[in-house]
Amino acid sequence: MTEPSLLIQSAWLIPALPLASAAAIAAFGRRLPWHGAEIGIGAILTSLLIAIAIAWETFTTVDPAPYEAAYAWSPLGGGFVLELGMLIDGLTAMMFLLVTLVSSMVQIYSREYMHGEKRFTYYYAMLSLFTFSMLFLVIANNTLQAVVGWELVGLCSFLLIGFYWEDKSNQDAANKAFLTTKFGDVGLIVGVIVLSAGMFGLTDTPFNFLQTIDAAVAGELSTATIVLGMLLIFVGCISKSGQMPLHVWLPDAMAGPTPVSALIHAATMVTAGVFLLARLFPVLAQSATVMAVIAVVGVITLFFGGLLALVQDDIKKILAYSTISQLGYMVAAIGVGGYTASVFHLFTHGFFKALLFLGAGSLIHAVHSNNISDMGGLRRFMPHTFWTFTIGSLALAGFPLTAGFFSKDEILVAGDLWAVNGFATGTAVYWVGLAAAFVTTFYMARAWFLIFMGEHRGAGHADAHGHDAHDDDARTRTTRTTHDAHDDHADHGAHHADPHESGRQITVPLMILAVLSIAVGLIGSPFAQEKPNFESWTSTTVIAETTYPFLAEYAAAGTGIAAAAAEPSAKILHGPPTWHLDLLLIVLVVFSSAVALAWRFYGRGLPAQDPMMRMGGLTRVLVAKYGFDSFGYRFIVVPVRDRMSAWATRISNDVIDGAVAGIGTTTMRLARTTYTVVDQRIIDGGVNGAAFSAAWWSARLRRIQSGDVQRYAGALVAGVILLVLAFVAVR
Amino acid sequence: MTGLDLIFAVVGLITAAAAIKTVTSTNLVHAALFLAVTLAGIAGVFLVLSADFLALVQLVVYVGAVAVLFLFGLMLTRAPIGREALDSDHRGLALGVSGALFVLLSGLIIAAFGDVRVDTVGGPRTADIGLALFRDWVLPFEVLSMLLLAALVGAIVLSRREDGESGEVEDVTRILLADDPDLDGVDDADASADGAAGEVRA
Amino acid sequence: MSLVGPLLLATLLFSVGVYGLIARRNAVLVLISVELMLNAVNINLVAFQNLLFPTDVSASGHMFALFIIGVAAAEVGVGLAIVFNLFRNRASVDVDRVDAMRW
């Protein structure tokens, strides 16, 4: 590709349109006939069209060079340039397509789903802003801009998770999501700084993605920079992409409206971490340590995250834990060198998870409850939702020929190849991945049987939560009267007639996504051996030509890892996908056995006691979510909130006392005087003494706070003078 | 000591003297007028430094607009006149701090730049300034214009009457009367102090 | 020409401004003092630009001086509006009587 086409050059329109629409909706959306929805939908559909065109162009161009354009700003003069730019390659185009498509489906869907909400316009403005943030992160050509998009995504998710902010629990969920991801953001920002510090001096634009990648591949970055920087960035990905142990915010993020959950889980939030790892893949591929850490975290998450879904009753929580598990697959794939597999799974997962969430929203809409124990027999009432949800479930479970099958198999194959290279993580990804596939199939089959098969357990029971015969801890914990029901319906939910199919604005996006959940798998499947296929689309020259440097080192050092860099598997790209009949067979066995097991338990409706609740210790552990939440509450929330002040007082007292004792040791006499003072204070009652001293000091110190601004100004200048004097004296 | 130095010394001395009078004058209007002289003197300093464009901007913005604005401010607030009324009881603190600051800074400056002498004085031409302003600095420039707009709107909002009758000029004298029954929100201490201040004004 | 001259003048103006800022009771005079300090900085900027970098066409020093003038104009506008508001509410513009924000 010599000269980038006008289309590629105008890619900036894709994020710009949602931003403009967010502003326009906020400015005058309320006065429009659709209360702003038309602006949001129109803008995102236009973005979608551009994204499709760009995706087509980058897809059909075999071996496209990345296109980069940036507005450079040099605030500090020479040697340091900040950029606001765009980097368009296959990966960007793929993310554009995914984000705009899911977002437009969600926005069309929301017009019916959120109809009559009092903050309808605000909701649409936030959706647009959310979409913009993610697209801004995706289009970024440098890490700093990506961090900006990343933070905006966090902010928007906070606002949307807390959309029903009248409820304390929703506020808490929003705060939890914000603070948890913010914790990881600290790592991300420090990581970005570390990487750019390594780049400093090599180039004028230390944050630039391509230059960072080039420098890393050329070995110009020190190992310490790469390991430290990438691990810190990975901390950000752990929190954003819901990896253990910072996944705790993701299930709680279900407090937001269901379409928002679809957006968060499929396209705009949790994929950010995986995307960033994919973007910086050539950098992290320089270090075996980084890849091992990533793989281990991914493997842990994909298995244990999936287990948690077994005991959930809330359909949205089941899907949330399945998202955690699927993200674990993606991260694990990154960690075992499955770049294409990870990105492909990110792509396909976006479609079928959006489908599942929107389908769940349709179900919730119909029965006014989040709980699968309140559903049952819905296939008769909601045929469209039924077959679309079924396709989504099959794709998630990895049923052959669905999109999820091809992408998940690619991950397992990548693990296998990595195992050939001598890394135990590859073996782990392969076998744990298979086990988790069994778990996934089982919980999706459980949900599917309970939702669609058997007899309808009725909206009339919805109000009787907590009094059911099979009541238990997990039920009461996850049972929450849904806010997703319309206000006008919620009041007489108990007398509601049979559930009915949702309207066309809900079912049509479901159908589109259902078709795509099958279709998008084909471009990365063994059917697409020839270029262009998914691999040629999402990989650039750098990725195609990079090998893992440490493989040769290990081979030379003879550390037991046998593979040499000359082997084909040392390349990052695995080449076009091929059929693995053995794997296909295993997957089929796993699938059918999991479905059979689910049928045995749930095929005849909801048993009197859910077998998942009768697994003894395992159930207790899972219901307690491995104790992460209570651990976090007890050791982070409570100390910070309740005990910080007490500790601060105690520490200050200790410090004061310590200083006094220190002086005391210098001279015996001073020590004795001090001792008596301390002693007397203790005799008089240490607490009273501390309180008294605090009061005494504050009574004097508060005089400083005279309210006289001029005295403040004088003190300020005097302080500056003293500082300058001190500086001069030190010099 | 060149001729330029001499001219600078003259202009600088006038500026410095006017500045000192600005903060020490016991008459409010005089203080404002001395400010105008100081600002004009600074414009002169700019001219001596051959920054002619900035000198004109200084004259137009400061001497032309800001000084007049201050005069309006003084007239509208009808402040009393006299040393006790104009200076707070921080004069000692102020003298000490500013004196120390001056000694410290000038000491540092002389130590750092005492031997710097240049033969040619010259800066960018006005054309260069224009080019720089609208090419490299155009974004900050636009941001500044937004700031000015915001300040304008803010100033209008702040000085409007509470009950929002727009277009009417506030009758500020009404509230000057300490015994005005409409005087809301002023506590007793202030009201009595206003009485004392009112006498001075009367 | 000597560089110290303008710098010393700027220092003097700045110190005088600090004096006025702390010593003056009338809020308008305090604002005037702030203007003196801002102008002192401008002298520094222009002196450094024109004496040390006379051939630099990027004119950063002049740019900063211009922006300071602009920001100062905005500051005077808002500041005087606040002073008027203060005057309307309290019939006085003495800054040492506006001390409600204390212990």
Looking only at the bridges linking them, the beta strands covering A82-88 and A67-73 are: antiparallel
Containing A210, the helix (H) or strand (E) segment is: helix A209-217
Contact A403, A395 (CB under 8 A): yes
Contact B121 C46 (CB under 8 A): no
Instruction: Tell whether omega for the bond before B80 is within 30 degrees of 0, i.e. cis.
Output: no
Tokens 């007292």, residue?
A653
How many other C-beta atoms lie within 10 A of the C-beta of residue A684?
11
Query: What CA–CA distance (Å, rounded) separates A386 from A501?
Result: 10
| pLDDT value of residue A679 | 65
Query: What CA–CA distance (Å, rounded) separates A157 from A159?
Result: 5
How many other C-beta atoms lie within 10 A of the C-beta of residue A442?
25
| Residue A610 to residues A30, A201, A605, Cα–Cα distance (Å) | 47, 62, 10
- Chains with 3+ CB–CB pairs under 8 A to C are A, B
Query: What CA–CA distance (Å, rounded) separates A389 from A698?
Result: 65
- Alpha-carbon A702 to chain mean position: 47
B50 falls within a domain: yes
Angstroms from A717 CA to nearest CA on chain C = 8
Q: What is the mean pLDDT of residues B60-84?
A: 80
Using the 8-state DSSP alphabet, how is residue A75 labeled? T
Angstroms from A561 CA to nearest CA on chain C = 59
Query: What CA–CA distance (Å, rounded) separates C5 from A303?
Result: 75
Q: Give ∠ CA A323-A329-A330 in degrees, rounded to 5.
A: 90
| Residue A703 to residues A134, A522, A706, C103, Cα–Cα distance (Å) | 51, 75, 6, 8
CA atoms within 13 A of residue A6's CA, in its CB half-sphere:
0
Closest in B57, B72, B121 to C54, CB measured: B121
Nearby residues of A295 by Cβ (< 8 Å), 6 or more positions away: A331, A332, A334, A335, A336, A423, A425, A426, A428, A429
Closest in A714, A720, A725 to B90, CB measured: A714
User: Residue A452: which of A322, A317, A614, A606 has the closest Cα?
Assistant: A606
- The total of structural domains in chain B comes to 1
- B128 token code pair: 């260069």
Interface-testing mutation among B91, B93, B143, with chain A (most A C-beta atoms within 10 A): B93
Query: What CA–CA distance (Å, rounded) separates A594 from B192?
Result: 87
Contact A711 B90 (CB under 8 A): yes
B148 falls within a domain: no
Question: What are the strands, taking DSSP E only, across A607-676?
Answer: none
B25 falls within a domain: yes
Contact pairs from chain B to chain C, CB under 8 Å: 293
Contact B12 C5 (CB under 8 A): yes
Within 8 A of B190 by CB-CB distance, chain C residues are: 90-92, 97
Angstroms from B199 CA to nearest CA on chain C = 13
B198 pLDDT band (50/70/90 cuts)?
very low
Angstroms from B197 CA to nearest CA on chain A = 20
Contact A714 B108 (CB under 8 A): no
Within 8 A of B102 by CB-CB distance, chain A residues are: none
Closest in A702, A706, A710 to C22, CB measured: A710
User: Residue A489: which of A500, A478, A474, A479 has the closest Cα?
Assistant: A500
- C88 token code pair: 């309307």
Closest in C55, C62, C88 to B54, CB measured: C62
Better-predicted residue by pLDDT, A489 or C61? C61
Closest in C23, C30, C99 to A708, CB measured: C99
Task: List, run by run, the mean pLDDT of 10-residue segments along chain A (731 residues).
Answer: 69 84 80 77 86 83 75 71 82 87 86 78 85 88 87 85 79 80 86 83 79 81 84 87 79 80 80 87 83 87 82 82 88 84 87 87 79 74 83 84 82 79 79 85 84 68 40 37 41 51 78 83 75 76 72 60 48 70 81 81 68 65 67 62 62 65 62 64 65 81 78 88 88 73
Within 8 A of B201 by CB-CB distance, chain C residues are: none
Q: Nearest residue of C to residue A710 by CA position?
A: C22
| pLDDT value of residue C40 | 94
Q: What is the mean pLDDT of residues B74-84?
A: 73
Interface of B to A at Cβ within 8 Å reads: 88, 90, 93-94, 97-98, 100-101, 104, 108
Contact C82, B73 (CB under 8 A): no
Closest in B23, B136, B159 to C20, CB measured: B23
Contact A436, A306 (CB under 8 A): yes
Closest in C3, C35, C87 to B118, CB measured: C3
How many other C-beta atoms lie within 10 A of the C-beta of residue A719?
11
Interface-testing mutation among C14, C21, C56, with chain A (most A C-beta atoms within 10 A): C21
Within 8 A of C102 by CB-CB distance, chain A residues are: 705-708
Contact A251, A177 (CB under 8 A): no
Contact A142, A53 (CB under 8 A): no
Contact A185, A239 (CB under 8 A): yes
User: Residue A342: which of A424, A228, A429 has the closest Cα?
Assistant: A429
Asked if A76 reaches chain B (Cβ–Cβ under 8 Å), the answer is no
Query: What CA–CA distance (Å, rounded) separates C103 from C99?
Result: 10
Using the 8-state DSSP alphabet, how is residue A187 labeled? H
Q: What is the pLDDT of residues B19-48, one digit of tens each?
A: 999 988 888 888 889 999 999 999 999 999
Interface-testing mutation among B34, B77, B172, B176, with chain C (most C C-beta atoms within 10 A): B77
Contact A294, A234 (CB under 8 A): yes
Contact B97 A725 (CB under 8 A): no
Q: What is the mean pLDDT of residues C67-81?
A: 91
Q: What is the pLDDT of residues B123-133, one digit of tens each?
A: 788 888 888 88
Contact B109 C4 (CB under 8 A): yes
B61 falls within a domain: yes
Contact A705 C96 (CB under 8 A): no
| pLDDT value of residue B36 | 92
Instruction: Tell whether omega for the bond before A532 is within 30 degrees of 0, i.e. cis.
Output: yes
Query: What CA–CA distance (Å, rounded) separates A591 from A727?
Result: 72
Closest in B51, B118, B193 to C46, CB measured: B51
Tokens 């702030």, residue?
C34
Contact A50, A14 (CB under 8 A): yes
Query: What CA–CA distance (Å, rounded) separates B84 from A95?
Result: 71
DSSP helix/strand/coil, A69: strand
Question: 0.95 exceeded by the pTM?
Answer: no
Contact C63 B133 (CB under 8 A): yes
B15 falls within a domain: yes
| pLDDT value of residue B46 | 92
| pLDDT value of residue C97 | 78
B20 falls within a domain: yes
Query: What CA–CA distance (Å, rounded) separates A390 from A396?
Result: 10
Contact B94 A714 (CB under 8 A): yes
Q: Nearest residue of A to residue C24 by CA position?
A: A710
Closest in B93, B94, B100 to A721, CB measured: B100
Query: What CA–CA distance (Å, rounded) separates A457 from A469?
Result: 13
Query: What CA–CA distance (Å, rounded) separates A429 from A303?
Result: 10
Query: What CA–CA distance (Å, rounded) separates B70 from B33?
Result: 9
CATH number of the domain that B76 lies in? Answer: 1.20.120.1200
Contact A462, A374 (CB under 8 A): yes
Better-predicted residue by pLDDT, C95 or B14? B14
Query: What CA–CA distance (Å, rounded) separates C47 from C39?
Result: 12
Within 8 A of A717 by CB-CB distance, chain C residues are: 18, 22
Query: What CA–CA distance (Å, rounded) separates A189 from B168?
Result: 53
Within 8 A of C23 by CB-CB distance, chain A residues are: 710
Reduce the secondary structure of A675-688 to three states and give it as a string.
HHHHHHHHHHHHHH
Residue type, C56: D
Interface of C to A at Cβ within 8 Å reads: 18, 21-23, 30, 95-96, 98-103
Contact C95, A709 (CB under 8 A): yes
Q: Give ∠ CA A462-A465-A467 in degrees, rounded to 5.
A: 130
| pLDDT value of residue A615 | 64
Within 8 A of A77 by CB-CB distance, chain B residues are: none
B34 falls within a domain: yes
Closest in C22, C100, C103 to A713, CB measured: C22
Asked if A721 reaches chain B (Cβ–Cβ under 8 Å), the answer is yes
| Residue C6 to residues B2, B7, B111, Cα–Cα distance (Å) | 15, 12, 15
Contact B100 A714 (CB under 8 A): no
Contact A73, A81 (CB under 8 A): yes
Strand partners, A67: A88
Whether B170 shows a pLDDT value over 60: the answer reads no
| pLDDT value of residue B103 | 93
B197 pLDDT band (50/70/90 cuts)?
very low
| pLDDT value of residue A79 | 67
Burial of residue B149 (number of CB atoms within 10 Å: 0-12, 13-18, 19+): exposed
The residue range of the domain holding B76 is 1-85
Contact pairs from chain A to chain B, CB under 8 Å: 24
User: Residue C85: which of A675, B77, B43, A654 has the closest Cα?
Assistant: B77
B122 falls within a domain: no
Q: Is the dihedral of CA A654, A660, A666, A669 positive or negative?
A: negative
Q: Nearest residue of C to residue B118 by CA position?
A: C1
DSSP helix/strand/coil, B65: helix
- A223 token code pair: 């190992």
Instruction: Provide the angle, in degrees to the nearest 10, between the axes of the packed helices A143-161 and A168-199.
Output: 180
Q: What is the mean pLDDT of residues B80-105?
A: 83
Q: What is the pLDDT of residues C2-41, one digit of tens each?
A: 889 999 999 999 999 999 999 888 888 899 999 999 999 9
Contact A708 C96 (CB under 8 A): yes
Contact B23 C17 (CB under 8 A): yes
